[in-house]
Chains A and B, each alone.
Chain A
């Protein structure tokens, strides 16, 4: 859908790449540089204001994080910090090692998402994006799954405080369960969290069961759609469409935030889903359309997971940005971009944005997986009280 009149904002700073654990860590900020380069090459930032993020304030962080945890992160950010002292906070592990400047880097990412949400809520922009954001695993007092501060939750808390009564729909299509955001607003009926993910049977964080539906007044306002390992495009999109349309219609949000982790792709080394980049063209199309239909276009997009940084992330997030911008993309990737990055890449880079339909062998158990996912979707919808 094209909305040429939409005002868009792109929040970015080169300092985002300081959110980096170790050289061989799977969460690699090089994916941001590659994506930015692809977007620039396609001239998709011409005439778009590039918003320089400011770090989230302590007050903003304290709205969702424990003060002792913030202290620990700050101490762990010093150059001579001992990693062994931070295990109770989920830091200093192989997953989330400590690194100098960790607090500043994490606060900047969180500030970026706060700014994106503020631009949209204040009406300065219709849509805003922070590709460094999407750190959905961070808990109130614990780092988890490569996430230190939960930028999404910080932004939601900011919107709730400044725009009293705002109803926020959070859509998480990362392959991992959006647990941090869910637990932080588990009792809040004004924050609807919907997470689509690979079931927790074989995948971190193991939570995200259908039965996690919220608590107290927030009962019904946490939705989880755990899909089978080896789920492919069609079943993934069918599940998304079947749930998002009716649930968001009934919830009537004032703001939609979409977390765009792109680790459901078959190439992703950490997960066991079998999607292609087709879903990364179609998902933003769906959530963007819903934002126009339901909340005056107020739409914030953040990044998230995505560990095939060469073949998947730049394509997925460029398609996301093109959708927000309402600009058509060529079928093919610009050859000069491929030429610039192919030398470093361990595999041949793809030449098209959308993977060709016969790229992968079909999954032998496809019918069974589709059926199981359909049952899951039915159970999710049946148990949602406000429908």
Chain B
């Protein structure tokens, strides 16, 4: 029992400088971010982390010095957070997001997105049919604020004016209206995703209702023989905006599906995997809402001709489809 040169003691003496070096790097990047580390320090970090982790592993089996164990436990955890934290930063994450993640997630959720489009279409048909047969339905579906003077009682001239007529005063109001619509739509889009958590049921309602409002508006224009003109007016920004709403609904359905049907994985793991995918779609849709808002405020005021409006709508639609179908198929 004279052997006083404890293995744990010798072990600590040998490894201690590495731990202290790691602690310094970790403290620095905790307060100032990984970017604050020099190139040399960044190169050292993973190696020091792994050696601290192996020290911890060894210490757990050979050392009974509790102070040391606790220190290593904490140091390894802190280093782990730095090494495995989001490294990319906001802008790099956004770039990766746009090029790879978004189109891939959309493709992965195409079933839910088609369902979402279908529900909205059903809502549209219902709203359109109901308002066409009985104008009173319009008031039930569309709030006064949203209708902004366009009702079944409006004359053809008033409706025509709302599609083609504008003056400076109105464009200024429209700018505000656009910003309001964008933030409102984007928020509703996020809501559609989050509501998926309640088994997806509110998503059905939200999509159906949005479709019905659209249908109700189109019906009053159709009654005055302005149906095509109204389509052109709406689709300038609508080809982008409706797509974004459908995507958000699709995200909500993915989430709802994951809550109800766990699949082969555990419910929690499944929810996590699908939830992350779906959230990417929704963030993408928020940017689409922004594009839609810009189109609404500018393109629609500058382009008055019906054919030109349809052309813009079709071009936007093609751009989005090409992006979602073909982008990000390579490596990455």
Do A and B bind? no
Chain A residues with CB under 8 Å of chain B are none
Chain B residues with CB under 8 Å of chain A are none
